Amino acid sequence: CQPHQTRESQEKDEQENKDEEPGINFTKTVDHTTLSEVSEERFEDFMSVVLSCPGATAALRPLVLIDSLPRLDRWKRHLVSEDEEEEWRALGVAVTGVLDHQSEASTDIRWFKMIVPMISGIVHFPESMADRIECMRLYPDHGDMRSVRPFIRSMEIMARRSPPSEWIARFWEEVFKKTLCMGPSPDEDGRFPVPIVDGKSLYNLRDQIMERFLQSIKVSKVDARLDSSFGLLLYALSIVEEVCANRVQSRILGRLALRSLVDACITLNYLFKIDKDELWASYRVYGAGQAKLAFLKAQELEGDLPSFIDEDMLHAISNEDRWQEFLDINIGHWANSNLRKLATEGE
């Protein structure tokens, strides 16, 4: 049973049949707007070619879910929805794959949009562009794609409808209401990857570092070089331990952890590269000043402190080398620089 066709659409098709020759008209860009304007006979010819391709029916089936699609009645004569949920998902995946207008899939579509008027003779080029047109004809098997693909995209921009077809705005409004949000990785199964670093190796390494520190430490005076280097190393190992224990290396916290590890690595490398006593002392004093600042902020809080704040520990660190009353707080960078400069100067 075919859907009912309005009198206006019948009259329009009859008029187009009088004016057009039989067969598929390749003198226009093939898009949904054009397909809604061609006669019934030409639309049937078009569909017979398309549906003869393996898998075409399944690929096109989601189209009948779109009420805003021009001349939807024509598509429903050839396609029937079987699983709406799966078809909406397939449509979402297809659209997501071409949102980047420079992607390979998007460029393929834009090539098809341009090759039709080129074959039909609507678009003409000078003889000096013969090589370029040959690349278009044999795309993507001929020519340097680093040059051919940008050429296709720039060509297609000139052929766009201005203004865009009215139904496009209705399409986006419709799919926004009818579909749910899709994640950036729809195929992800949600499992955490297994950490490469095992706990036993990590703890053995930490024990070796602490043993080496105890062998190197002296009681005669504060050694900013020793304390800062081993402190940064143990700090980095603690970050790795937390990442592995909670398996967050591929999550947002994993990115923050990686940023902290890079910061520690660049800082330590810079300190060793310059290797001046006053610079090591500056870094140590800066850390004590930050502990003092955190301690003072904690004292300003009303009520119980968060469980992760140890007020006594902050007080001890800030008073370790000198009374905190005589300790400056540097709210800028400890070396009056930034991480980028430290990375460059530490090479």
Statement: residue 74 has pLDDT above 80: yes
Name the nearest CA neighbour of 108 among 149, 137, 141, 62.
149
pLDDT computed for residue 54 by the predictor: 92
Name the residue with higher pLDDT: 189 or 319.
319
Q: Indicate whether this model's pTM tops 0.75.
A: no
The domain of 108 spans 7-178
pLDDT computed for residue 88 by the predictor: 93
> What's the structural domain count of the chain?
2
Judgement on whether residues 167 and 209 belong to the same structural domain of the protein: no
Judgement on whether residues 269 and 145 belong to the same structural domain of the protein: no
Judgement on whether residues 49 and 122 belong to the same structural domain of the protein: yes
Statement: residue 197 has pLDDT above 60: yes
End-to-end CA distance of the chain: 76
Judgement on whether residues 218 and 171 belong to the same structural domain of the protein: no
Give a yes or no: residue 163 inside a domain.
Answer: yes
Judgement on whether residues 302 and 331 belong to the same structural domain of the protein: yes
Statement: residue 285 has pLDDT above 80: yes
Peptide bond preceding 163: is omega within 30 degrees of 0, i.e. cis? yes
Judgement on whether residues 35 and 170 belong to the same structural domain of the protein: yes
Last residue of a domain, one of 114, 147, 178: 178
In which band, very low, low, confident or very high, does the pLDDT at 329 lie, cut at 50, 70 and 90? confident
Judgement on whether residues 158 and 233 belong to the same structural domain of the protein: no
Contacts of 334 by beta carbon, 8 Å cutoff, 6+ apart: 282, 283, 286, 287
Segment 108-151, tens digit of pLDDT = 999 988 888 888 777 888 899 999 999 999 999 999 999 999 99
Give a yes or no: residue 41 inside a domain.
Answer: yes
In which band, very low, low, confident or very high, does the pLDDT at 191 lie, cut at 50, 70 and 90? low
Give a yes or no: residue 77 inside a domain.
Answer: yes
Contacts of 212 by beta carbon, 8 Å cutoff, 6+ apart: 230
Give a yes or no: residue 1 inside a domain.
Answer: no
The pLDDT mean for the chain works out to 84
Judgement on whether residues 222 and 272 belong to the same structural domain of the protein: yes
Judgement on whether residues 216 and 117 belong to the same structural domain of the protein: no
Statement: residue 186 has pLDDT above 70: no
pLDDT computed for residue 48 by the predictor: 93
Last residue of a domain, one of 117, 147, 178: 178
User: According to DSSP H, which parts of 128-251 are helical?
Assistant: 130-137, 145-158, 166-178, 199-216, 224-246
Give a yes or no: residue 186 inside a domain.
Answer: no
Judgement on whether residues 209 and 118 belong to the same structural domain of the protein: no
Judgement on whether residues 32 and 73 belong to the same structural domain of the protein: yes
pLDDT computed for residue 11 by the predictor: 53
Q: Which range is least confidently modeled, 146-155, 190-199, 251-260?
A: 190-199
Give a yes or no: residue 306 inside a domain.
Answer: yes
Give a yes or no: residue 285 inside a domain.
Answer: yes
Sign of the C-alpha dihedral computed for residues 133, 136, 142 and 145 taken in this order: positive
Last residue of a domain, one of 178, 213, 246: 178
Phi/psi for 181 (5° steps) reads: -70, 140
Judgement on whether residues 250 and 147 belong to the same structural domain of the protein: no
Give a yes or no: residue 243 inside a domain.
Answer: yes
Statement: residue 47 has pLDDT above 70: yes
Average pLDDT over every residue of 269-298: 88
In which band, very low, low, confident or very high, does the pLDDT at 158 lie, cut at 50, 70 and 90? confident
d(CA 203, CA 257): 18
